[in-house]
Structure 1
Amino acid sequence: MIYKLNHMLERSFPERRVFLRSDNDTRYLRISPLTQLVAFSGSTIFAAWLIIATSILLMDSIGSGNLREQSGRDLVLFENRVAELAHERDMRAEEAAAAQARFNTALEQISVMQSQLLASEERVRELETGVEVVQANLRKALKARDEAEADKVQLVAQINGENGAQNGMSAQEVEATVDVLTSALADTAAERDDMVISASEALRMADALETDLRLMEEKNDRIFSQLEDAVTISVAPLDKMFKSAGMDPENLIATVKKGYSGQGGPLTPITFSTKGGMVDPDSMRANAIIDKMDRLNLYRIAAQKAPFALPLQGAFRMTSPYGPRWGRMHEGQDFAAAYGTPLYATADGVVTFAGWQSGYGRLVKIQHEFGIETRYAHQSQIMVKVGQRVSRGEQIGAMGNSGRSTGTHLHYEVRVGGKAVNPMIYIKAANDVF
C-alpha cells in the first residue's frame, strides 16, 4: 500500500535525495513522496493553526480593550449620575429649608394680619357705638326742637290775645320767653346739623373699614392658597418616599410624636375672631395648614432617623448588590472607592458596636429609630465608640479591606427588626426628595 501511495504521489511529489558528504564517505537520505506529503500537510496545518491562533489573540486583545474603554465610560457616566443625584439632593434640601423659611414668614404675616383684623373689629364696634350715640342725641335734639316749636306757637297765640286772659302773662314776659325759646331752637338746630355730619362721617369710616376688611380677606385667601399649595408640594414627596421604603407614614408620625410630645411654639391653633361661637373659615384653613406643616416637620424628623442617605460622598462604584452570591445570601450593598475614603452615618442613631467582628473586619453598628440598624464593615479606621450618639452625615470611619474581603470596599447593611433588607430600597426612595 505504501508503494502504491508513493507511486500515485510521484508526479506531485517526486522522490528527493539529500546527500551527506564527509571527508571519507558520501551518504544520502531518500525522501519518499509520502514523506513529503506528510511534511507538507503538517507544515500547512501548523501554519494555518498559527494564523488562526494569532487572529484569535488579536481579536481578544482588541475586544478586551473595547470592554475596558466601555467600562471606563460606564464608570464616568455612573460617577456623573451620582454627582447629579447628590446635587439634586442638596437642591431639594435647600428648597425644603426655603419653604420652611417662607412658611415662617407667612406665619408672621398672618399673625400681623390677625392683629390688624382684631383691631379693625374693635374699631368697627366703637364706630357702631358712636353712631348709636349720635343717633340717640339726634333724636333728642329733634324732640326738643319739636317741643320748642310747639311752645313758640302757643306763645305767639298768647301774644295775639288768644290765651292771654287764661294764662295771665304780660307782653314783656311773653317776648322774653319767645327769645329764650328761639335761642334754644337755634342751638338745637346747630347741634342737630353737627350730629348729622358726625353720623355721615361715621358711616363713611365704617364703609372704608368694611372695604379694608374685604381687601384683607382677599389677601388672606391668596396667602392661604399659596401656603396650601406649598405645603402639599412639600408633603407629597416625603409621603411617597416613606411608602416606597415600605414604611407606614402614620406609624412613623405616631412614633415621632412619642419622642416630641411637647406643645406650644409657632405651630399652635390660630383664631381670627373674638366673637365666640363657630370657628370661622379662615381659622379652619390656617389650622389645616398648621396641621400639614406639623406633619411636614414630623416627616423631616423621621427622615433624619431613617437611613435614606448614602454612606459615602463623592465618587464611588457599586459592586456586589444585595441578594444571592456564590450560593450564599449577600445581605448588604458593596461600595468601592479609594482606601481611606470617609464613611458617614446614613441616619441619626446610637452606636451599639465598634470593633472587630470575624468576617466583617472592623465593623460599626448604629441603632436607629423604628427598629432599624445599619452596619458598616471592612473599615480601615473606626472613629466612633459604643454609646456615642451620631447624626446623619457625621463621619464614623474610613473605607478599608479588613476581615473577609477581596479588595477595598464598604459592605453596607440595613436591618429592620434584626432581619436584613435591601439598602437600595431606602436610597432609591429618597432620590426624588434629597
Structure 2
Amino acid sequence: MEKRLPERRLFLRSDTETRFIRLRSSTQAIALVGIVAVGSWTLVATSILLMDSLSSGNIREQVKRDQFMYEAQLNKLSAERDMRAQEAASAHARFSVALREISEMQARLLESEDKRRELETGLEVVQSTLRQAIHERDEARARAEELQLALAETAAKEPETQRLSEVEDTVAFLSEALRETAVERDHMQAYAADADDYIAELQLESRLKDERNDRIFSTLEEAVSVSIAPMDKMFRSAGLNVDSIIDQVRRGYSGQGGPLTPLEFTVTDETEAADGMRANSILQKLDEMNIYRIAAQKAPFDVPVKSAFRFTSGFGPRWGRMHYGTDFAASYGTPIYATADGVVIHAGWQSGYGRLVKIQHEFGIETRYAHMSKIRVTKGQRVSRGDRIGDMGNSGRSTGTHLHYEVRVGGKAVNPMNYIKAARDVF
C-alpha cells in the first residue's frame, strides 16, 4: 500500500506561516474507496431511474391506447343506445295506433252483435206470425168445408134462390180470407228469406272481424312481449331484484281505473270470452310495462352528461386505492343532469369531493355528483330525471375539470356503467 499510495503532504501557505496536512497511505485508501463507492452508487441509481422512466413511458402509452379503445367502444354503445331509443319510440307509436284500432273494432263488433240480436228477435216474431197465419188459414179451410157441408144439408130445405145467394157470399168471404192469408204468407216467407241472408252476411262479417281481431291481438301480444323483455333484462343486468322493485312500485301506485282496467263481458259466446281473456292478458302486460316504466324513471339508468364528453377513469382500483365511481371529462361549466327521479339530500362542499350533490332515489339507490363548479339545487328539493343540478368543475381533490359520478345501493358503491350499459337498448 505504501508503494502504491506513498505518504503525501498537503501544504497550506499564508502570508505569515506555512502549514501542511499529512495524508497517510491508509487515509488515501479510505478516501479512494469512498470515491469509488459514491461513483458506483451514482451509476446504479442513474441506471434504475432511466429504466423506470422508459418502463413508465411504455405503460402510459399502453394506458392511452386502452383508454382510446374504451372511449371508442363507449361512443359506439351510445350510438346504439340512441338508435334503440328511436326504435322503441316508433314501436310505442305503432302500439298506440294498434290499440286504437282494436278499440274501434271492439265497438263495431258489439254494435254488429246488437244488430244480430235484433234481427234474430225480429225473425222469431216473423216466424211466429207466419205460423199463426198458417194456422188461421187451416182453420178457415176447415170452416169452409164445414159450411159447404152445411149448405149441402140445407139445400133440400131452402128455396133455390136463397140457397145460391148464401153460398155465393160464403164462398166469396172464404176466397178473400184465403187470398189475404196467402199474400201475408208470401210476404212473411220473403221477409224470412231476407232475414236469413242478412244473418248469413252478419255471420261472415263476424268471422272476418274475428280473424282481424286475432291478427291484431297477435300483433299486440308480440309488441308487448318485445317491449317488456328489454326492460326486464335492463333491471336484471343492473343487478336489481326485479320482483321486489315491481312489488314496491305497485304498493305506491295501487289505484285502478282508466284504459288499463280489466274488461268485463256479459256475453256467453265462447269466441267473445276468449277474446276478452286475451284482451285482459294484454292489458295486464301493459300494466306490467307501465310498472317497469315507472320503476325505470326512479332508477339511475341515464347518463349525467348530455354534451360531448370522454371517460377518463372507471370504477375499480386505481393507483393502489379504490375509485368508487366513473369520471366524465368535458369543458368547464358543462351542464350536469340528474339520472333519475329523487330527493336532494346534500348540496354543498364535502372534503375530497369538492362541491357535491347527493340524490336519494327509490329502492335504496343514491347517486353522487362531485367536483362541480356550481350547484343549482338545494337540500330537500325534489328533482326528476333530466333536471339540471349543476355545472362541471374542478373543485375538491381533482387534477382537472371533470365529473365524478357514483351510484350506491344500500350505502355500497357499485359500478355506474352497469346501469348505463343496461339501459342502452331501452332509452
Alpha-carbon distance between aligned partners in 2 of 1:216 and 1:427, rounded to the nearest angstrom: 45
Pairing partner for 1:145 from 125, 130, 137: 137
Residue aligning to 1:181: 174
Report whether the alignment pairs 1:164 with 2:145: no
Q: Which secondary structure does the structure 1 equivalent of 2:352 belong to? A: helix
The number of equivalent residue pairs is 376
For the residues of structure 2 that align with 1:196 and 1:368, how far apart are their CA atoms? 75
Tell me, yes or no, if the aligned pair for 1:155 and 1:178 is still in contact at 8 Å: no
SS of 1:226's equivalent in the other structure is helix
**What SS does the corresponding residue of 2:340 show, helix, strand or coil?**
coil
1:115 Cα shift?
A: 1.9
Partner of 1:251: 244
Counterpart residue number, 2:326: 333
> Does 2:392 align with 1:399?
yes
| 1:408 equivalent in structure 2 | 401
CA distance in 2, matches of 1:289, 1:272: 16
Q: Does 1:267 align with 2:272?
A: no
- How far apart are residue 429 of structure 1 and its match? 1.3
Aligned residue among 113, 117, 137 for 1:125: 117
Equivalent residue number for residue 280 of structure 1: 273
Deviation at 1:231, TM superposition (A): 0.7
The normalised TM-score by structure 2 is 0.80
Stretch deviating more after TM superposition (395-404 or 169-178): 169-178
| 2:363 aligned to which of 360, 370, 376 | 370
TM-superposition CA deviations, 1:170-223 (whole Å, max 9, x none): 331121111101111101000000000011011111111111111111000000
Q: What is the CA-CA distance between 1:84 and the residue it aligns to?
A: 4.2
Give the RMSD, CA atoms, in angstroms.
3.0
Deviates more, 1:311-320 or 1:294-303: 311-320
Q: Once the 2 structures are TM-superposed, how far is the Cα of residue 75 of structure 1 from its aligned partner?
A: 6.6
2:88 equivalent in structure 1: 96
Instruction: Output aligned runs, 1:208-247, within 5 Å.
Output: 208-247=201-240
Distance 1:258 1:227 in 2: 27
1:117-136 C-alpha deviation (Å, 9 max, x unpaired): 22222211111111111111
1:379 and 2:375 are equivalent in the alignment = no
Does the C-alpha gap of structure 1 residues 253 and 309 become closer, same or farther in structure 2, counting only changes over 3 Å?
A: same
TM-superposed deviation, 1:433: 2.0
SS at match of 2:125: helix
Structure 1 equivalent of residue 310 of structure 2 = 317
Instruction: Check whether the contact 1:363–1:376 (CA below 8 A) recurs between aligned residues.
Output: yes
Structure 2: how far apart are the matches of 1:419 and 1:71? Answer: 28
Distance in 2 between residues matched to 1:279 and 1:196, nearest whole Å: 32
Shift of 1:139: 1.3
What amino acid is aligned across from residue 155 of structure 2 in structure 1?
G
Match of 2:374, SS state, is strand
Distance 1:288 1:237 in 2: 19
Whether 2:199 is the aligned partner of 1:206: answer yes
Question: What corresponds to 1:105 in structure 2?
Answer: 97
Structure 1 equivalent of residue 354 of structure 2: 361
Identity within the alignment, %: 60
Deviations 1:232-272 (A, max 9, x none): 11110110110111112221111112222221111111245
Amino acid in the other structure paired with 1:239: D
Of 346, 356, 360, the residue aligned with 2:339 is 346
223-232 or 261-270, which deviates more: 261-270
**Corresponding residue number in structure 1 for 2:78:** 86
Distance 1:358 1:339 in 2: 21
- Note if contact 1:271-1:279 (Cα within 8 Å) is conserved in structure 2: no
What amino acid is the match of 1:146?
Answer: D
Contact persistence 1:83–1:315 (CA under 8 A): no
Give the CA deviation at 1:348.
1.2
* Unmatched segments (≥5 aa) in structure 2: 1-46
TM-score (norm 1): 0.78
